[in-house]
């Protein structure tokens, strides 16, 4: 079977650890050898961080990049995603990086490309998975000095139900052996009972934050919420936001993460985004290295 990066569950733990180690080495200044080929960035949902960092990472390993959005692709004329993928593969594209609103769209694309040398990278599908974000979160924590996962307590707070980042983070942290993964949010934003069984659920943010080493804040993902019954920004901040008062109770070594985009003064106070405890821009930097490691891993396997 061809190698793709579709979700955390599709990778062996040794591969995940290898990607984190390689990305950390790249972040510390390791060089990478040039590969040849072209990457197609197929972004059918908005993105700043993921699209740009995949493009920068591809160039870093010597790959050419073509950027295609939905309105500029022939899917807007009725072509299926599978046929778009086969077309790009016929042109010799080495990898397709896909962001899509539908859960499992990257896996369907990979199935359509079976037997071709073209690799698929999931850059976020619906609320299902965002594996490169999870990898960069782990790289960020590792580089911030958290080098023993078995002693770490990590809280993920906010709209977990609609979050592909939360699903991939929990899956990766579980694989790495994180001691305790906590989920906190209003009932409507917690995953279904039975999903993410390894994580502890909290209905009180202050309890969830007690004694953690890291907190990952998540925005309300309104683009994936059909009902209008979710909290407004003010009441969400009061009950579930990482406020200055809440952050003041964190341990001095605890760090704050957010995958972005941030809604300041909703899920996190504006001042905390720029505080010394925040790793948010470190996550952005780690994203380039994590995605560089992903391209090396994919292209070399295709070799």
Asked whether position 50 contacts ligand CP by CB under 6 A, the answer is yes
Asked whether position 259 contacts ligand CP by CB under 6 A, the answer is yes
Whole-angstrom Cα Rg for the chain: 19
Question: Coil, helix or strand for 144?
Answer: coil
Strands 119-125 and 255-257: unpaired
Task: Using alpha carbons, select from 114, 117, 112, 73 the residue that is nearest to residue 94.
Answer: 117
Asked whether position 133 contacts ligand CP by CB under 6 A, the answer is yes
Q: How many residues bind ligand CP (CB under 6 A)?
A: 9
Beta strand ranges found along the chain (DSSP E):
38-43, 64-69, 95-100, 119-125, 153-157, 180-184, 200-202, 214-217, 255-257
Minimal distance in Å, beta carbon 94 to ligand CP? 22
Rounded Cα–Cα distance for residues 127 and 140 (Å):
22
Span of 143-151, 231-239, 244-252, 253-261 interacting with ligand CP by CB under 6 A: 253-261
Asked whether position 281 contacts ligand CP by CB under 6 A, the answer is no
Q: Would you say 48 or 207 has its CB closer to ligand CP?
A: 48
Rounded Cα–Cα distance for residues 232 and 234 (Å):
6
Asked whether position 224 contacts ligand CP by CB under 6 A, the answer is no
Beta strand ranges found along 185-266 (DSSP E):
200-202, 214-217, 255-257
Binding mask 1-40 for ligand CP (x = CB under 6 A): ----------------------------------------
Minimal distance in Å, beta carbon 220 to ligand CP? 14
| The only residue of 124, 158, 185, 241 in contact with ligand CP, by rule CB under 6 A | 124
Minimal distance in Å, beta carbon 263 to ligand CP? 13
Phi, psi (5° rounding) for residue 118?
Answer: -80, 130
**Beta-carbon contacts of residue 281 (< 8 Å; ≥ 6 apart):** none
Q: Would you say 189 or 202 has its CB closer to ligand CP?
A: 189
Asked whether position 80 contacts ligand CP by CB under 6 A, the answer is no
Q: Would you say 125 or 296 has its CB closer to ligand CP?
A: 125
Beta strand ranges found along 111-174 (DSSP E):
119-125, 153-157
Span of 48-56, 146-154, 175-183, 188-196 interacting with ligand CP by CB under 6 A: 48-56
Longest dimension (CA), the chain: 56
| The only residue of 9, 13, 36, 48 in contact with ligand CP, by rule CB under 6 A | 48
| 216 bridge partner residues | 156, 257
Question: Coil, helix or strand for 255?
Answer: strand
Asked whether position 260 contacts ligand CP by CB under 6 A, the answer is yes
Retrieve residue 282's tokens: 């470190």
**Beta-carbon contacts of residue 59 (< 8 Å; ≥ 6 apart):** 65
Span of 70-78, 82-90, 227-235, 255-263 interacting with ligand CP by CB under 6 A: 255-263
Minimal distance in Å, beta carbon 45 to ligand CP? 8
| The only residue of 4, 5, 40, 47 in contact with ligand CP, by rule CB under 6 A | 47
Site residues (CB under 6 A) for ligand CP? 47-50, 124, 133, 259-261
């Amino acid at each position: 079977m061809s190698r793709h990066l579709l979700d955390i569950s599709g990778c062996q733990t040794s591969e995940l650890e290898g990607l984190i180690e390689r990305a950390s080495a790249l972040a510390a200044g390791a060089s990478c050898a040039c590969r040849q080929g072209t990457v197609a960035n197929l972004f059918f949902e908005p993105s700043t961080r993921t699209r740009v960092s995949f493009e920068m990472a591809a160039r870093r390993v010597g790959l050419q990049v073509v950027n295609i959005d939905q309105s500029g692709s022939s899917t807007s004329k009725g072509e299926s995603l599978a046929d778009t993928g086969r077309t790009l593969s016929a042109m010799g594209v080495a990898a397709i990086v896909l962001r899509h609103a539908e859960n499992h769209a990257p896996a369907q694309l990979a199935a359509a490309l079976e037997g071709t040398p073209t690799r698929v990278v999931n850059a976020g599908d619906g609320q299902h998975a965002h594996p490169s974000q999870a990898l960069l979160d782990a790289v960020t924590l590792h580089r911030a000095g958290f080098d023993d996962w078995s002693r770490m307590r990590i809280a993920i707070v906010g709209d977990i139900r609609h979050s592909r980042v939360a699903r991939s983070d929990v899956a990766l942290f579980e694989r790495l052996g994180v001691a305790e993964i906590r989920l906190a949010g209003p009932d409507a934003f917690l995953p279904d009972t039975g999903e993410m069984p390894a994580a502890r659920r909290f209905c009180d943010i202050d309890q969830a934050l007690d004694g953690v080493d890291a907190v990952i804040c998540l925005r309300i993902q309104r683009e994936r919420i059909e009902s209008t019954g979710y909290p407004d920004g003010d009441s969400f901040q009061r009950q579930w936001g990482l406020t200055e008062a809440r952050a003041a109770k964190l341990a001095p070594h605890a760090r704050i993460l957010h995958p972005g985009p941030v809604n300041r003064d909703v899920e996190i106070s504006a001042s905390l985004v720029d505080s010394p405890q925040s790793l948010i821009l470190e996550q952005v930097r780690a994203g380039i290295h994590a995605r560089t490691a992903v391209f090396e891993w994919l292209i070399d396997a295709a070799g």
